[in-house]
Structure 1
Amino acid sequence: MGGFGPELTQFGRQFKLMGYTMKVGDQTDVPLSAMLVESFTHTQKAQTAAPANGFGTNNNTELQQVSAFLAGRLSEHIGVFAQATYSENGGLLGWDNMDWRYARMFSHGSHSGIWGISLNNNPTVSDVFNTAPAWKYPYMSADLAPGTPAQPMLLGGLAGQVVGVSAYMQLDGAWYMELGGYRSLSSAFLHHVNAHFDGRLSGVTPYARLAYTWNLPTGSFSVGGFMLNMRRGQVGTNDIGDSVALPGPTDRFRDFGVDSSYMYVNGDHTITVDGLYVHESQKLDATWGGGGSDNLHNTLQSLNLKGSYWYRHTYGVTLASFVYNGSKDVTLYGNDGSPNTQGESVELDYSPFGQSTSWHQPWANVRLGLQYTYFNRFSGRVHDVDGAGRNAKDNNTLYCYVWLAI
């Protein structure tokens, strides 16, 4: 949407399901592309400390992201989406989302569909729906402003730290099913690709996805669900300061999510409405046993709602709301012990080359974004959210960005 995504239309979903292998004519180009994001972040009140090395407590400009992509067809049935990213915040070049695919079409009697296998490094990055945690709104957001203190593991808790294989199938253009498993990558490997290491998974972490889509004359409507069941150990540091896995008990996280997405596309007008709810049950044998939490058993819940309207894929407006809540645990979360954080956001976008007839399509892609996020509550409080007099509204964030893609 809006010229160059990342939301996928029905055609975009089919392109991904077919393993990125579709091509135009005798196209043989190496599927390389790139993007750059420059941003400005302002919070209503300056933060008590700089959010990262090299930045101030407020009004920060940042080369937020420079990414190179190998994304497209490698052979008749094999394709790839692989991303490497540099960020000024941290000053590192590392790997990002990765999704290698093998896909084929099939037919059996009155049924037809697509099946495939995905090798990827982030549960839900293989998904084709706009509501999947790896692709949910906001697509660009401030990384130099206070964010949600706690959220379920399914919302990026394993991103870039694991490798997994999943098998998927779309049946009759309606049912979508995916089942896979993930294993931890070593801390040494993650250090080489400049990725975080938050602990080693115990065994294989299963992941499952089921969704049903109603294809409408002017769009689609889908309803589905997710499941992730993981155990993870604690993290320490070695003699040279690198993160390493510690022996001993593990923490268990069981996530169940439901989602829905509506898409309307009619001439100059595009509307999308998305919702995602995730419930997480925790059994914190490692954290609680080490004195890191008050409770052995905790829960977390998240609710994300978003509605967008685009005119001629050029002018866009998005309204969103978010709620994160869960068990009270003073040792784990501090203050009153509540992770309850909630608010709303509004975003205005302009993509001058968003139409198929725009100048130098499909090579020229630019998006200008203005986003404002308002917090009604932060870490369980409206006032004095950090014990030093900072209020929830002081974290309200004005975020502007320029997003270039070629």
Structure 2
Amino acid sequence: MACHVGAFGPELTTFGRQFKLMGYTMKVGDAKELPLSAMLVESFTHTQKAQTDVPAKGFGTNDNTELQQASVFLAGRLSEHIGVFAQATYSENGGLLGWDNVDLRYARMFSRGSHTGIWGITVNNNPTVSDVFNTAPAWMYPYMSADLAPGAPAQPMLFGGLGGQVIGASAYVQLDGAWYLEAGGYRSLSPAFLRRVNADYNGRLSGITPYARAAYTWNLPKGDFTVGGFVLSMRRGLAGTNLAGDAVPVAGPTDRFRDVGLDSSYQYVNADHSFTAGALYVREQQRLDATYADGGADHLHNSLQAFNLKGSYWYRQTYGVTLASFIDNGSNDVTLYGNNGSPDTRGESIELNYAPFGQPTSWRQPWANMRLGLQYTYFTRFSGLVHNIDGAGRNASANNTLYFYVWLAI
């Protein structure tokens, strides 16, 4: 409840942000327990109309239940200035246990004259996973969503395009609780290593991929307001397979992606009422030298845009409602995106939540933690069309999704 809106992750309060910036090193008393925890997510997914093909091996075309995530965490203080958030996850969709988000930090406080702040270094495996604001793609809403339902055909690389496939380091500083600056770079991990941790491999990055983040927070009488931005610039070659069927890099030209994002958020949290709102816009410019030369795209130059907006209200950190809207759009390219060649997909969602054990006096606190979520997502456009989106009479509304989940943590 102190660190999270709705008494459950991942949306952080102001205190939760400071805990993360300080490298997860805060402790209570003389506790020396190994910082282990676990979570489990069981879900049910229903689309308005059964999908044409099964969404994944072992599932049906509709009304699927699954063990969506079963995770273990090493998350907390390792020493006075070093802490870690490391997650390994099993999913029934794919049937594999692999590494998930990893964020290892060294952090210290400082003061210079009238200024105070925090500086640190993070080593992590996903651009934006180091971020403390819930407008960052790695931690943005929806915090849990259906993985067995149709989604946007394409999004910018910042939206998980490198997650788990890279290793990077960045330095960050927070000054006077207002300015937040971070800059660093990422390199590809080898296909052999990614096979061992059951991670995807989508091609090797060329050299270092730079990443930068800046944000400014105004502390208001009834909350705080933040504006900021992201920059990611990368070059990546194509992925192929060897005779054994393993993923390997392909020699030749590279595709270039440059993402520029703007975000803002507002937060007001007290014991009875909590309001949060967030917005993120990302534009990606592409030069597809590798994909175009390989016949995988109609155009050498393409672009993508993504806009996400959400607002949440929580009552006594127990009952929550969230409204959200999303637009994913970009250049038309039939070979790249299939169908009619448009990635234009947009819609809205509403989610209701119940967290029965979110109070300091809750039963079995802090061991018993549960969130129930009921989410409905409806599409006003899918792949650029409203009607007959697949050439076989399926409408965008056929992909409307009802999603229910039970999220446990200990």
TM-score by length of 1: 0.99
Counterpart selection for 2:11 from 7, 29, 54:
7
Tell whether 2:201 aligns with 1:197: yes
**Cross-structure match for 1:306:** 310
**Cross-structure match for 1:397:** 401
In the TM superposition, 1:4-403 aligns within 5 A as 4-403=8-407
Q: Which amino acid aligns with 2:180?
A: Y
Q: Give 1:273 deviation, angstroms.
A: 0.4
- Whole-Å separation in 1 of the counterparts to 2:396 and 2:54: 18
- Whole-Å separation in 2 of the counterparts to 1:318 and 1:163: 33
Q: Secondary structure of the residue that 2:7 maps to in structure 1?
A: coil
CA contact (8 A) 2:281 2:307 kept: yes
CA contact (8 A) 2:70 2:90 kept: yes
Q: Which amino acid aligns with 2:266?
A: Y
- Whole-Å separation in 1 of the counterparts to 2:23 and 2:222: 25
Q: Secondary structure of the residue that 1:38 maps to in structure 2?
A: strand
Deviations along 1:105-136, whole A, 9 cap, x unmatched?
00111111000000000000000001000000
Q: Which amino acid aligns with 1:39?
A: S
- Whole-Å separation in 2 of the counterparts to 1:307 and 1:244: 42
- Whole-Å separation in 1 of the counterparts to 2:373 and 2:280: 23
- Whole-Å separation in 1 of the counterparts to 2:153 and 2:45: 19
TM-score by length of 2: 0.98
Deviations along 1:89-115, whole A, 9 cap, x unmatched?
011000000000000000111111000
- Whole-Å separation in 2 of the counterparts to 1:84 and 1:258: 30
Deviates more, 1:360-369 or 1:17-26: 360-369
Q: Give 1:387 deviation, angstroms.
A: 2.2
- Whole-Å separation in 1 of the counterparts to 2:34 and 2:46: 40
- Whole-Å separation in 2 of the counterparts to 1:217 and 1:364: 33
Deviations along 1:237-296, whole A, 9 cap, x unmatched?
111111111000000000000000100113300000000000000000001111111111
Deviations along 1:282-314, whole A, 9 cap, x unmatched?
000001111111111001000000000000010
CA contact (8 A) 1:329 1:338 kept: yes
Q: Give 1:222 deviation, angstroms.
A: 0.4
Q: Secondary structure of the residue that 1:176 maps to in structure 2?
A: strand
Q: Give 1:176 deviation, angstroms.
A: 0.1
CA contact (8 A) 1:375 1:395 kept: yes
- Whole-Å separation in 2 of the counterparts to 1:20 and 1:205: 26
Q: Secondary structure of the residue that 2:195 maps to in structure 1?
A: helix
Q: Give 1:155 deviation, angstroms.
A: 0.7
Q: Secondary structure of the residue that 1:393 maps to in structure 2?
A: helix
Q: Which amino acid aligns with 1:3?
A: A
Q: Give 1:333 deviation, angstroms.
A: 1.3
- Whole-Å separation in 1 of the counterparts to 2:228 and 2:194: 32
- Whole-Å separation in 2 of the counterparts to 1:266 and 1:217: 12
Q: Give 1:216 deviation, angstroms.
A: 2.1
CA contact (8 A) 1:218 1:266 kept: no
- Whole-Å separation in 2 of the counterparts to 1:43 and 1:306: 22
Q: Give 1:3 deviation, angstroms.
A: 1.3
- Whole-Å separation in 2 of the counterparts to 1:73 and 1:11: 16
Deviates more, 1:387-396 or 1:340-349: 387-396
Number of residues of Structure 1 aligned to a counterpart in Structure 2: 406
Q: Identity rate of aligned residues, in percent?
A: 78
CA contact (8 A) 1:176 1:210 kept: yes
Q: Give 1:362 deviation, angstroms.
A: 1.8
CA contact (8 A) 2:124 2:168 kept: yes
Q: Which amino acid aligns with 1:214?
A: W
Q: Which amino acid aligns with 1:287?
A: T
CA contact (8 A) 2:271 2:317 kept: no
